[in-house]
Amino acid sequence: MSRIGKLPVEIPSGTKVEVKGSTITVQGPKGTLSQTVRPEVVVIIEQNQALLTRKNESKYAKSLHGLYRNLLQNMVTGVSKGFSKTLIINGVGYRAELQGNSLVMNLGYSTPVEFFIPEGLTALCETNNKVTVSGIDKQRVGQMCAEIRSLRPPEPYKGKGIRYETETIRRKVGKTGVK
């Protein structure tokens, strides 16, 4: 049995989970998310928890079991609490600011970089060098942060660039003078 797949998904109060055919819909105070499920996995809703089982013991069904359990857990967490990631911008003159529905960043290029914020996600500039991205879909929040980070990834010598708040950059020693 899958160690992750066999765990029940707790459904908090105020959150509603529905299964219609092969689609799971989760409604909560922050919004609604839905996910289609492969026929190898069956979702059972009991009181305030959801259990996932698989129809057969094939390797493919076993791999889907844990995947859909985690996807369902992320959907329930997203509509009840939401997800957020914080990016730190390091470098002299590097900064970010919100202008309407886009994030404008000075990243050492000749012109500012403008990043459009997709529908359903929000960005917040706490300071000039700290950007917090939040939303109800964990995958979309992570994808947006990865795209922002790819505009200027951190470099190992001075640490300039955009990094996650929890990320540590392995620094390298620069050149030394030759005598």
pLDDT band at 178 (very low <50, low <70, confident <90, very high): low
CATH number for the domain formed by residue range(s) 83-164: 3.90.930.12
> Rounded to an integer, what distance in angstroms lies between the CA atom of residue 4 and that of residue 75?
16
Pair of tokens at residue 122: 């929000």
pLDDT for 177:
66
Q: What is the DSSP letter of 155?
A: P
pLDDT band at 95 (very low <50, low <70, confident <90, very high): very high
**Category of 14 on φ-ψ map: left (φ > 0), alpha (ψ -120 to 50) or beta:** left
Neighbours of 47 (CB within 10 A): 6
pLDDT for 119:
92
Going by CATH, does the domain composed of 9-80 fall within 3.30.470.20? no
Mean pLDDT of 4-21: 91
Helix (H, G, I), strand (E, B) or coil at 41: strand
> Rounded to an integer, what distance in angstroms lies between the CA atom of residue 85 and that of residue 83?
7
Q: Measured in Å, how far apart are the chain's first and last C-alpha atoms?
A: 64
pLDDT for 179:
64
pLDDT for 67:
93
Domain with CATH 3.90.930.12 in the chain: 9-80, 83-164
